[in-house]
């Protein structure tokens, strides 16, 4: 499938549902910031079906929940329902902005699951169930996902307090301004970050039965006399091929995978809970640690969301600097990812070492400009934190014009025609692009399936509309194409870098005060960028105070894992390793 | 002819004298090749020059660990480039990243599976004390709450230089050990760490009594508050290895019985 690049068209501002669904809309919400529509819970599936089938909103980008218990803002003065489920939908054929839907649910009620319409709702609904306790009716596998079965309570609820809880919002009075505080460990008898419900007896505790993936009866049409048995094989959480602490439960027959379930949460670091205690700016360094290979683009995504919410302008030079940093980051990510796809294919270490070489050159630039190699914390609301040091521009231009094109060409020469890569990659992990869209997969994965959907073109942010670059696509949607698309995208990034470094103007780099005392207006916003791994979005809700009321990260790595099971079925165990590698996940972003 | 030496030191000295004063003829071709050293020195030198880390990445720090192993920083200079995915084959566990409650049972299990001599390096702020995520509900505030740590490397994440410095400190620590006193050649010094369990929250089997006191007291006092409000300063009791459950013991007895039966041994 080949087609023209999806570009932004006029977004649909009004939700035109037609006469038979008009009564499903209960009202609008947050009209000052980003208008969304409140839908009756029993009609949500009808509305979603209409939007998907009639209006072409085929991509469920974001599904999350907000707990409004104790909300201090004015907007919800007359609303009783405690929880709200939020949906953000996009049209991948037309580009443009999103349709935001809300469903209000009282505490103990269920919501119809969207999995029957958007298969990609699977992991996101499980996350909402885990962290908020909202039950989705009709979900095929509603289990806890980030925490473990048996965990006490639903931690993202506003009245759930962790062991080291001090206050709702930072800075804590115990530390600021005097700074004399006792260690939390000293306040808890067992000196650990744990709490137990009153009356719980550890001696009689039984761990819940371990989950095993659904058994599918082995079938042998050609050899009916074979009597085989399928077994469950566990990979991870400590396994060299899982790119971190990730676990795959596979049911295999021989070496063929019958079912595969991802298990995550081994790096669940509670970004969202901590983010709601932090002030707006304090979250910036935490975004570095989401996708820790790409701190610059994470910074940018969060800064964009807050700027959209608070209406902050960004100076010209800062826009250019952001593009430069984000594109360098993309090259870092893609070369890294290529190296590790090859690693997973069995070309242990050598290609990865080649790929990391350029990364070190780019990290030197990041270190010069921000002071840190990986966790740059470089962007602020309204610009970037400091201007370039002396000599930076020359070195960056050398990289963009000479060194990086050469290095990418070298990778191309060494790998693209490699016979083993072709033999292992061609036709493996195939899933048609329509299925990938339905599974909410984004980024290089869908472009390797032939859909030229890139947010830099489809909903341009920053100054991407000024640059001349293409959105490469490949037709086959297999491992090989997922490898090659990353190389092509890195080459396009080099093109953008060359233009940006040529055109960058002089001027100030930070408009305003950088948000040190920011109070965002009441409302909500969903903003996304084309991060190297796919669509990175931030959903922020504000009650007008110093901290976000809700801080949700729509991370591409996590949601792309929706496709891992469907892509792996029917292939061998060794292929599943590469299929996972070609999704290109980073666990910091998967588990958050 | 000298009389019997008065003590052991003198005897040792006498035995060394011929070596020190070239009274023993060393063949010419070996003249430049013979070195005299202590057992400790050669033992520690060989151990620290081939200290294989466990291929084990937790979070962001793992990326810097990989960068340290890659060409620019080149961990091979220290004989450490062979990262082993199996705990049985590795000497050093680099805890590189945030330790979460869901992960900590696996980490302790891996630590228990490593063969002595084993070392633990805590890399970065998270592994050392929880770091920026310390307050999180799923974060363990430092791996040393569960397993002993030899070297701490601060940083978020530590640069490769910092990690190398930490590894050199580890080498120094190894150099100071003596084969006569290291615990792994002694009896009854097994450092088996009870594996934490996942309940309503993660709990350490060594602290079961302490937790039970607090939770049951809280229930009795009918306070709705969570159990962490208990009086500070309560002492902590390490209880040693976890007791096996009756069920497990019965299972083992049954297996023993079957084995005896198979071999025809008496009950």
Question: How many structural domains is chain B composed of?
Answer: 3
Task: Please name the member of A195, A207, A270 whose beta carbon is closest to the beta carbon of B227.
Answer: A195
- Residue of B81, B200, B214 best to disrupt the A interface, most CBs of A under 10 A: B200
| pLDDT confidence of residue B241 | 41
Is the CB of A270 less than 8 angstroms away from the CB of B136? yes
Are B80 and B179 contained in the same domain?
yes
Tell me the pLDDT tens digit for each residue of B74-93. 888 988 888 888 889 999 99
Q: Domain for residue A585, yes or no? A: yes
Q: Domain for residue A84, yes or no? A: yes
Tell me the pLDDT tens digit for each residue of B216-225. 877 776 544 4
- List, in sequence order, every beta strand (DSSP E) within chain B: 92-96, 119-123, 151-153, 197-198, 202-203
Q: Domain for residue B243, yes or no? A: yes
CB pairs A-B closer than 8 Å? 213
CA-wise closest residue to A269 among A295, A247, A288:
A288
Is the CB of A373 less than 8 angstroms away from the CB of B100? no
CA nearest to A333 within chain B: B63
**Can you tell me the distance from the alpha carbon of B163 to that of B174, in angstroms, rounded to the nearest whole number?**
17
Distances (CA, A) of A321 to A326, A465, A500, B45, B135: 8, 15, 8, 50, 34
**Can you tell me the distance from the alpha carbon of B37 to that of B22, in angstroms, rounded to the nearest whole number?**
16
Tell me the pLDDT tens digit for each residue of A262-314. 888 899 999 999 999 899 999 999 999 988 889 999 999 999 999 988 888 88
Average pLDDT value for chain B: 81
> Between B232 and A432, where is the model more confident?
A432
Task: Please name the member of A162, A196, A273 whose beta carbon is closest to the beta carbon of B227.
Answer: A196
Tell me the pLDDT tens digit for each residue of A438-494. 999 999 999 999 888 999 988 888 899 899 999 999 998 999 999 999 999 999 999
Are B69 and B170 contained in the same domain?
yes
**Quick check: B63 contacting A, CB < 8 Å?**
yes
- Residue of B74, B104, B136, B217 best to disrupt the A interface, most CBs of A under 10 A: B136
| pLDDT confidence of residue A327 | 93
Is the CB of B133 less than 8 angstroms away from the CB of A270? yes
Our CA dihedral for A389, A393, A398, A403, rounded to 10 degrees, sits at 70
In sequence order, the β-bridge partners of residue B92 are B53, B119
CATH code where residue A374 lies: 1.10.645.10
- Count other C-beta atoms under 10 Å from residue A297's C-beta: 27
User: Which residues in chain A touch residue B134, judged by CB atoms under 8 angstroms apart?
Assistant: 164, 184, 193
CA nearest to B245 within chain A: A203
**Quick check: B91 contacting A, CB < 8 Å?**
no
| pLDDT confidence of residue A515 | 67
**Can you tell me the distance from the alpha carbon of A355 to that of A350, in angstroms, rounded to the nearest whole number?**
9
| Helix, strand, or coil (residue B40) | helix
Is the CB of B72 less than 8 angstroms away from the CB of A146? no
Strands A36-39 and A59-67: unpaired
**Quick check: B203 contacting A, CB < 8 Å?**
yes
A553, containing H or E segment: strand A550-554
Least confident of A212-221, A303-312, B34-43, B121-130: A212-221
| pLDDT confidence of residue A197 | 83
Angle at which helix B39-49 crosses helix B160-175, to 10 degrees, equals: 160
Residue carrying structure tokens 């019965």? B250
Are B223 and B154 contained in the same domain?
no
* Final residue belonging to a domain, choices A90, A109, A137: A137
**Can you tell me the distance from the alpha carbon of A391 to that of A376, in angstroms, rounded to the nearest whole number?**
19
State the residue range of the domain holding B251. 204-260
Residue B112 in this model has a pLDDT that exceeds 70: yes
User: Which residues in chain B touch residue A205, judged by CB atoms under 8 angstroms apart?
Assistant: 197, 199
Peptide bond into B138 cis (omega under 30): no
Residue B229 in this model has a pLDDT that exceeds 50: no
Q: Where do runs of H (alpha helix) occur along A386-534?
A: 392-398, 404-411, 419-425, 433-438, 444-447, 455-458, 479-503
On whether the CB atoms of residues A373 and A366 are closer than 8 A, the answer is yes
* Final residue belonging to a domain, choices A93, A112, A137: A137
Residues in contact with A400: Cβ distance below 8 Å, sequence separation at least 6, in sequence order: A494, A497, A498, A501
User: Which residues in chain B touch residue A591, judged by CB atoms under 8 angstroms apart?
Assistant: 100
Q: Domain for residue B195, yes or no? A: no
CATH code where residue B163 lies: 3.40.50.12280
| Helix, strand, or coil (residue B115) | coil
- Residue of B135, B221, B243 best to disrupt the A interface, most CBs of A under 10 A: B135
Q: Is residue B239 very low, low, confident or very high in pLDDT (cuts 50, 70, 90)? A: very low
Are B24 and B93 contained in the same domain?
no
Low-confidence ranges of chain A (pLDDT < 50): 1-2
Are B31 and B121 contained in the same domain?
no
Residue carrying structure tokens 């060794």? A574
Q: Domain for residue B172, yes or no? A: yes
State the residue range of the domain holding A25. 19-137
| pLDDT confidence of residue B220 | 72
- Residue of A202, A329, A376 best to disrupt the B interface, most CBs of B under 10 A: A202
Strands A99-105 and A550-554: unpaired
Q: Domain for residue A132, yes or no? A: yes
Question: How many structural domains is chain A composed of?
Answer: 2
Q: Is residue B237 very low, low, confident or very high in pLDDT (cuts 50, 70, 90)? A: very low
Is the CB of A193 less than 8 angstroms away from the CB of B207? no
On whether the CB atoms of residues A7 and A93 are closer than 8 A, the answer is no
How far is the alpha carbon of A399 from chain B, nearest alpha carbon, in Å? 17
**Quick check: B112 contacting A, CB < 8 Å?**
no
Are B69 and B147 contained in the same domain?
yes
Are B135 and B179 contained in the same domain?
yes
- ipTM of this model? 0.89
User: Which residues in chain B touch residue A160, judged by CB atoms under 8 angstroms apart?
Assistant: 137
User: Which residues in chain B touch residue A162, judged by CB atoms under 8 angstroms apart?
Assistant: 135-137
CA A1 vs. chain centroid, Å, equals 26
Determine the Cα angle at A138 with ends A133 and A142, to 5°: 45
| pLDDT confidence of residue A408 | 92
């Amino acid at each position: 499938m080949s087609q023209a690049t999806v570009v932004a068209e006029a977004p649909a501002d009004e939700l035109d549902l037609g006469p038979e669904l008009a009564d499903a809309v209960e009202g609008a919400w947050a009209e000052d910031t980003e208008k969304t529509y409140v839908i009756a819970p029993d009609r949500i599936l009808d509305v979603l079906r209409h939007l998907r089938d009639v209006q072409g909103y085929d991509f469920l980008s974001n599904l999350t929940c907000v707990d409004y218990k104790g909300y201090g803002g004015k907007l919800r003065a007359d609303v009783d329902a405690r929880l709200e489920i939020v949906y953000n939908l996009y049209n991948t054929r037309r580009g443009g902005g999103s349709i935001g839907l809300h469903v209000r649910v009282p505490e103990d009620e269920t919501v119809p699951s969207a999995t029957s319409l958007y298969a990609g709702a699977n992991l996101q609904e499980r996350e909402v169930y885990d962290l908020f306790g909202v039950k989705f009716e009709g979900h095929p596998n509603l289990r806890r996902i980030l925490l473990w079965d048996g965990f006490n309570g639903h931690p993202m609820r506003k009245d759930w307090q962790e062991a080291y809880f001090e206050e709702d919002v930072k800075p804590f009075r115990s530390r600021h301004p005097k700074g004399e505080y006792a260690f939390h460990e000293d306040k808890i008898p067992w000196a650990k970050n744990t709490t137990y419900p009153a009356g719980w007896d550890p001696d009689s505790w039984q761990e819940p039965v371990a989950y095993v993936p659904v058994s599918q009866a082995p079938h042998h049409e050609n050899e009916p006399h074979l009597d085989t048995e399928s077994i469950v094989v566990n990979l991870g959480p400590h396994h060299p091929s899982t790119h971190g602490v990730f676990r795959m439960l596979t049911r295999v027959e021989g070496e063929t995978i019958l079912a595969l379930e991802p298990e995550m949460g081994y790096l669940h670091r509670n970004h969202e809970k901590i983010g709601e205690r932090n002030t707006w700016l304090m979250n910036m360094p935490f975004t570095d640690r989401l996708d820790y290979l790409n701190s610059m683009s994470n910074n940018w995504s969060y800064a964009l969301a807050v700027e959209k919410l608070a209406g902050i302008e960004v100076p010209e030079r800062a826009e250019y600097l952001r593009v430069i940093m984000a594109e360098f980051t993309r090259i870092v990510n893609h070369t890294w990812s290529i190296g590790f796809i090859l690693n997973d294919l069995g070309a242990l270490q050598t290609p990865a070492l080649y790929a990391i070489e350029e990364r070190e050159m780019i990290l030197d630039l990041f270190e010069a400009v921000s002071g840190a190699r990986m966790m740059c914390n470089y962007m602020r609301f309204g610009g970037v934190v400091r201007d370039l040091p002396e000599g930076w521009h020359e070195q960056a231009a050398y990289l963009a014009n000479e060194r990086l094109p050469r290095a990418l060409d070298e990778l191309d020469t060494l790998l693209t025609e490699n016979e083993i890569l072709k033999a292992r990659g061609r036709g493996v992990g195939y899933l048609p692009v329509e299925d990938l869209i339905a599974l909410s997969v984004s980024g290089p994965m869908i472009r390797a399936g032939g859909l030229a959907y890139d947010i830099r073109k489809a909903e341009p942010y920053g100054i991407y509309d000024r640059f001349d670059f293409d959105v490469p696509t490949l037709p086959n949607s297999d491992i090989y194409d997922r490898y090659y698309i990353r190389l092509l995208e890195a080459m396009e990034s080099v093109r953008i870098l060359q233009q940006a470094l040529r055109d960058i103007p002089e001027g100030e780099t930070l408009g305003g005060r950088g948000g040190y005392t920011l109070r965002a207006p009441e409302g909500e916003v969903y903003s996304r960028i084309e991060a190297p791994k796919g669509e990175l979005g931030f959903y922020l809700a504000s009650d007008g105070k110093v901290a976000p009321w809700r801080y949700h990260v729509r991370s591409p790595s996590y949601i792309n894992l929706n496709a891992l099971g469907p892509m792996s079925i029917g292939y061998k165990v060794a292929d599943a390793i590469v299929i996972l590698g070609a999704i290109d996940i980073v666990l910091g972003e998967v588990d958050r | 002819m000298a009389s019997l030496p008065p003590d052991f030191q003198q005897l040792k000295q006498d035995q060394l004298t011929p070596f020190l004063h070239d009274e023993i003829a060393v063949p010419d071709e070996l003249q430049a090749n013979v070195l005299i050293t202590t057992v400790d020195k050669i033992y520690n030198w060989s151990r620290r020059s081939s200290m294989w880390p466990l291929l084990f990445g937790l979070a962001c720090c793992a990326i810097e660990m990989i960068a340290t192993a890659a060409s620019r920083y080149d961990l091979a200079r220290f004989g450490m480039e062979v990262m082993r995915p199996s705990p049985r084959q590795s000497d050093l566990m680099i805890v590189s990243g945030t330790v979460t409650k869901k992960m900590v049972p696996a980490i302790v299990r891996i630590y228990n599976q490593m063969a002595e001599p084993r070392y633990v390096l805590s890399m970065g702020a998270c592994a050392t004390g929880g770091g920026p995520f310390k307050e999180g509900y799923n974060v363990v505030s430092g791996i040393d709450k569960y397993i002993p740590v030899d070297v701490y490397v601060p940083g978020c994440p530590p640069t490769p230089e910092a990690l190398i410095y930490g590894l050199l400190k580890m080498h120094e620590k190894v150099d100071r050990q003596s084969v006569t006193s290291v615990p792994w050649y002694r009896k009854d010094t097994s450092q088996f760490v009870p594996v934490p369990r996942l309940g309503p929250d993660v709990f350490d089997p060594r602290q079961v009594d302490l937790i039970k006191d607090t939770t049951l007291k809280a229930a009795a006092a009918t306070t709705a508050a969570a159990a962490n409000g208990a009086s500070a300063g309560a002492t902590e009791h390490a209880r040693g290895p976890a007791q096996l459950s009756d069920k497990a013991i019965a299972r083992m007895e049954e297996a023993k019985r079957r084995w005896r039966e198979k071999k025809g041994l008496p009950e």
